[in-house]
Structure 1
Amino acid sequence: MMPILFPLGNYYFIGPSYFTDPIKFGVGTVVVFGLYWLSIVTLTLTVWWAIRRYPDASQTLLRTVVMLTAVGSLTVGLAIFDVWVYSLLPATGVQFSWAAVRPIWVLGLIFDVFLCMALGLFYAYARWKQDMTESEQLERASLQNQYDALKGQLNPHFLFNALNSLSILIGEEPKLAEQFVDKLAIVYRYMLQPDRRGDAVLGKSSGDVTTLQAELDFICSYTDLLTMRYGKSLDITLPAIAGSSLATYVLPTLSLLTLVDNAIKYNSMSGAKPLVLSIEIMPDGWVVVTNSRQPKAIRLETDGAGLGSLTAKYRLLSEKSIMVDTTDAYFRVTLPLLPPNAL
């Protein structure tokens, strides 16, 4: 752009002799170069001053008016200054006149409009991007707090159920109660310190996510506890994924516990009508947890801690979300598995 503006500007001020007289060419080129950058720097600083002075989106109109007024006033002064500088140099042969200033005013004001528009749009885009980033960070922080709060409700609930089951077993089957305590120790060790097999895949210590294999190993121990407690009243089917490429995919820690625990909490079961619960791994990378719907006679109020925590965590980890499907016959939750390199 500058190689075009410089000769055009000097041709306007000096005339055709700019291209034929070496002295005029040299002096004119140096002068126009200095005046050009003086104008650009001065006008740009003025625009940024207006932006910093009125930065809010609600001040857009005021900022634009101030910007155009300040830049326009500077342009008028710079046009007079440019012609005056040329007139001070005898080598240019330029005489100061208002007739020479007026066309510069017109072209300068047109340039000002484009300059203000370009810098204003650049600022608006940068501000929008910054606001979006800050909004996303605040949302993620809010979701993390929500998830932590909901997860904190889960562990006490699990411990209460486990101790209640243990209390019943101690009175009815003491030997089975001993096995229950051993399994409970394994389960709680996982809950308090997530399995490090997940960390080997993720390459970091991560208490919020774990591998599918680690989660299934845990839920196997947990369902052993449930079988000891409920016997034939509970029919659970677990998948086998040994050797599957999905074994190293990840999901939020205790996801399966949350869904199994909810199924036990909100449904009735008996030897004559057992609660049927299954966990399936789909080849396309989804975990499907289904339980038969057998609502308890006394309806429990849903606190949302289970599905709420899963929903919040998935929103933090991925754009994928859980899917819930319910009918009179069954309740089904589908969880997406996440590639470890996607985190």
Structure 2
Amino acid sequence: MKRLLKPSKLQWYAFLATMPLSAAIINYILFERAIYHEFIYWTFSFPLIFLLGYLAWYFHLSVGDWLKRKYQEPGQFRTRLIIEIILIFALTSFCTYILIWIFAYFRILGYSWDPADFQQGLLVCCSFTLLIHTLYEADYTFLRYRESAEERQRFLQMSQYQEFDSMKNLVNPHFLFNCLNTLSSLISEDRDKAGKFLEELSKVYRYLLRNNRETLSSIQDELRFIRSYYELLKTRHENALELNIDIDDRHLNYMIPSLSLQLLVENAVKHNIILTDRPLIIDIFVTDGDRLIVNNNLQRKIVNVKSNRVGLENIRSKYRLLNQEGFQVIEDERNYTVVLPLIWHNNIHQFINALP
């Protein structure tokens, strides 16, 4: 069941500060100087106007809240504001008309319809509506700005963690020892293969140093890097590790967060059993909905491998800051799948501006 909207303290304060005054003015417009002589205009008419005003105010808030949820992306701000202004003033006009019509139709306190009263009442209601909604919009914008600033700070911290982890993983003793040990064996066995291995190793480090601080990289660059990284892993694991890439050329200029593929492949290798009779198979492909899929068969190691999950959270934060929906981590009994939304390169400057 959908919960009713709960107004904020600011919204309540604004309502309680403006509604009594606007109700008193409407009361004067309807009955003029009679309100100075007959107390009934304050004990009956004023509360009725106040009640109808409260219902109209709450309806306005509900419409505004619905629009903020429907048009919450930064690029939709102008569209939302225009629609909200049109709807709010249309609702204000309707509610003002209904208010005065009720008094006239039921002849409340002897009131009869006067078009001039509607015009004056509409002017008063629209003025107060404009005032309080300007206040609400300023408060909403400030809160969104503060949330964005906090999100950017968290993103910056996670980026620093990812940068450190990426460097640490590629220069840690185990990785270097395995690479150097493999290279040493290849030099004595196959100099051509050793030369190729050294070339791929240099490509991996060169890309890491160049792109580690970048926010986004093209699919083409990421695939070039992951192939070099895979060659290093393949030399060690041989037929126990398989990487399948199926991506059309038309997707190569799309963008994803830098080093995402390396992180996901590394996680797959780190957390799964890799044996010749139980090979780890990693598939990278793009769906019709412009989603890049990184999938591997799930065969977790019996011993739990320590993971701080900073990498995945960093990728998730980048997509959130870029206002890109669709990042998913899906796990079942057989597969571990990560879904990365693709970002079109023509919009790169717009997205980069959203990041710190």
TM-score calculated relative to the size of structure 1: 0.61
Name the CA distance, whole Å, in 1 between partners of 2:170 and 2:196.
13
Tell me the residue number matched to 2:231: 224
Name the CA distance, whole Å, in 1 between partners of 2:140 and 2:223.
38
* Distance change in 2, residues 1:186/1:309 (3 Å): same
* Distance change in 2, residues 1:189/1:123 (3 Å): farther
Is 1:161 the counterpart of 2:169 in the alignment? yes
Deviation for aligned residue 1:288: 0.9
* Distance change in 2, residues 1:156/1:185 (3 Å): farther
Tell me the residue number matched to 1:58: 12
Tell me the residue number matched to 1:194: 211
Deviations 1:283-338 (A, max 9, x none): 43121111111111111344221221121111122342212221111101121112
2:258 to 244, 253, 268: 253
* Distance change in 2, residues 1:140/1:73 (3 Å): same
2:215 to 184, 200, 208: 208
Report sequence identity in percent: 23
Please tell me the root mean square deviation across aligned C-alpha atoms, in Å: 3.5
Name the CA distance, whole Å, in 1 between partners of 2:309 and 2:208.
20
Tell me the residue number matched to 1:286: 291
Deviations 1:121-166 (A, max 9, x none): 2233333333333333333333333333223223333333333222
Deviation for aligned residue 1:117: 1.7
Name the CA distance, whole Å, in 2 between partners of 1:334 and 1:217.
20
Deviations 1:179-221 (A, max 9, x none): 55543442233233339xxxxxxxxxx9211221122112112
| Contact map agreement 1:292 1:330 (CA 8 A) in 2 | yes
Tell me the residue number matched to 1:237: 244
**How many correspondences in the alignment?**
250
| Contact map agreement 2:211 2:259 (CA 8 A) in 1 | no
Tell me the residue number matched to 1:140: 148
Q: Which amino acid aligns with 1:120?
A: F
Deviation for aligned residue 1:178: 7.0
Name the CA distance, whole Å, in 2 between partners of 1:123 and 1:155.
48
Tell me the residue number matched to 1:30: none
Deviation for aligned residue 1:229: 3.4
Is 1:274 the counterpart of 2:228 in the alignment? no
* Distance change in 2, residues 1:246/1:171 (3 Å): closer
Is 1:151 the counterpart of 2:156 in the alignment? no
* Distance change in 2, residues 1:193/1:133 (3 Å): farther
TM-score calculated relative to the size of structure 2: 0.59
| SS of equivalent to 1:127 | helix
Stretch of structure 1 that moved more, 214-223 or 125-134: 125-134
Deviations 1:94-136 (A, max 9, x none): xxxxxxxxxxxx9998766433321222233333333333333
Deviations 1:67-120 (A, max 9, x none): 66689999x89xxxxxxxxxxxxxxxxxxxxxxxxxxxx999876643332122
Deviation for aligned residue 1:228: 2.7
Is 1:129 the counterpart of 2:137 in the alignment? yes
* Distance change in 2, residues 1:193/1:159 (3 Å): closer
Structure possessing the higher radius of gyration over alpha carbons: 1
Deviation for aligned residue 1:341: 3.2
| SS of equivalent to 1:325 | strand
Gaps of 5+ in 1: 1-54, 78-105, 196-205
After superposition, residues 12-31 of structure 1 pair within 5 angstroms as none
Name the CA distance, whole Å, in 1 between partners of 2:204 and 2:156.
20
| Contact map agreement 2:183 2:197 (CA 8 A) in 1 | no
Tell me the residue number matched to 1:15: none
* Distance change in 2, residues 1:183/1:152 (3 Å): farther
Deviations 1:41-70 (A, max 9, x none): xxxxxxxxxxxxxx9423221233346668
| SS of equivalent to 1:237 | strand
| SS of equivalent to 1:248 | coil
